[in-house]
Amino acid sequence: MTPSAILAAAIEILEEQETRPGPLDLIVGRYQRQRRYIGAKDRSALASRVFGLARRHFRLGWRLEQAGAPTSPRALLIADLLLCDGLEPDEISTLFNGGSHAPPELNTSEWSWLLRIGPSPLETAEMPAAVRLECPSWAWDGLYDAFNDRTELQLSALLKEAPLDLRVNTLKSDRRSALAAIKRAGFDAELTPLANTGIRLPHRVALGRLPGLLEGVVDPQDEGSQLAAIALAPKPGERIADFCAGAGGKALAMAAAMGNKGRILALDSDKRRLDQAGPRLSKAGVDIVERRPISNGRDPWLKRQVAKFDGVLIDAPCSGVGAWRRNPDARWGRGQPDLAKLTELQSSILDRAARLVRPGGRLVYVTCSLLPQENQIQTDAFLTRSEDFSYAPQIDFPIQVPNGHITLTPADTETDGFFIAWLQKKI
């Protein structure tokens, strides 16, 4: 693809997301699969351009608005070439030439506001802090409540591109052997500092090229997610419930920690997502996980499972603020999340899942959010209405946990943002 064709493709992808909101990574993946002729280098260049625009969305939009320009995908890209790539207007005009597979030529209006914006840096002194930090208004107050004078530090870290973390499946290999194989294949990689099953690559790569991925030796999983999965400290032979199991990433990690001995019930109301876990479980050599769809309302099967589990892990639906560096478009591209409905759902899930825990058993509550109302406020409220639970007094974890809960962030732990709370049922 020519540079102009990559720009035209980027505009097409962003226009699709604008008309049919959805996760940007899925839209990019679908676009590229439908165009098999796009080579590996062009795929990388296209993805880099699209996700770069997503990371700079609010700042580019603000600069366009200040210049009286529209904030369409095309305008955002033109502004990005000027303010971030440092191209002159004439150079941009050369790329927007109206030729085959190129964007249409710049019109008179675009020339006008392009010259008004000027060749200044992307960020200016007048730019509001929330815009500069790419933080939507619905999340600003909650994040400031959580971090106070460290808010800018935390949000700045969320702007950076996430590395590619892999979890080594210890049922098939050990991580030093897996790391050696990845390095022999020519990839820059290292052991993760906190999760004892993790390997980190500084940048994303084509997953199919990674040694061990197709064989189930390694699986993509952020180090924070790996830590959340082992937070329950599941032991061989135990009966574990993975509530809100989704596609089974944490169930896979727990099964390996248990040496594939015991039983894990992967529970979710979305059968489609549970079905996606099947091939992953088979590839990993895991046979202790049973997938079971559950209803959002009254579920007769759940009623029969009261106090039958040694441990229950809840990976609760949430706003996803902690994953912004991995999903930058979630800040603006999918609409504002209904936090009132989300917190109500989280509360209901906590109550339902807690009933499964046996006396003396463990309940671990996890979100990939950094907003207090989804995290400690949620677990504090649960403990107020559930007198037979308390924050666990002793926790075996790679990081010190002072009060029964911890928040992981890109700035503090170089992971995605996660909240993890350890709760224990009284005997």
Between CA 173 and CA 182, with CA 177 as vertex, the angle to 5 degrees is: 110
* CA distances from residue 220 to 71, 208, 214, 398 in whole angstroms, order as listed: 35, 11, 11, 20
d(C-alpha 397, C-alpha 354), whole Å: 22
Alpha helices by DSSP H, listed for 310-386, are: 339-354, 376-385
Alpha helices by DSSP H, listed for 148-269, are: 151-158, 175-184, 223-230, 249-257
* DSSP designation for 372: G
Query: Which two three-digit tokens encode residue 118?
Result: 């000027």
Query: Which two three-digit tokens encode residue 154?
Result: 């935390």
| 368 given a catalytic annotation | yes
User: How many residues are recorded in the chain?
Assistant: 427
Query: Which two three-digit tokens encode residue 322?
Result: 């902690």
Query: Which of 62, 57, 72, 21 is closest to 335 using CA atoms?
Result: 21
Among 135, 244, 318, 368, which one carries the catalytic annotation? Answer: 368
| Side chain identity at residue 150, one-letter code | R
Give me the helix-helix angle, 73-83 and 108-117, nearest 10°.
40
Contact of 356 with 299, CB cutoff 8 Å:
no
Contact of 224 with 417, CB cutoff 8 Å:
yes
d(C-alpha 40, C-alpha 322), whole Å: 29
* DSSP element (H, E) containing 46: helix 40-55
d(C-alpha 425, C-alpha 361), whole Å: 6
Query: Which of 228, 191, 217, 232 is closest to 286 using CA atoms?
Result: 217
Q: Which residues contact 76 (CB under 8 A, 6 or more apart)?
A: 14, 53, 57, 60, 61, 64
Active site residues: 368
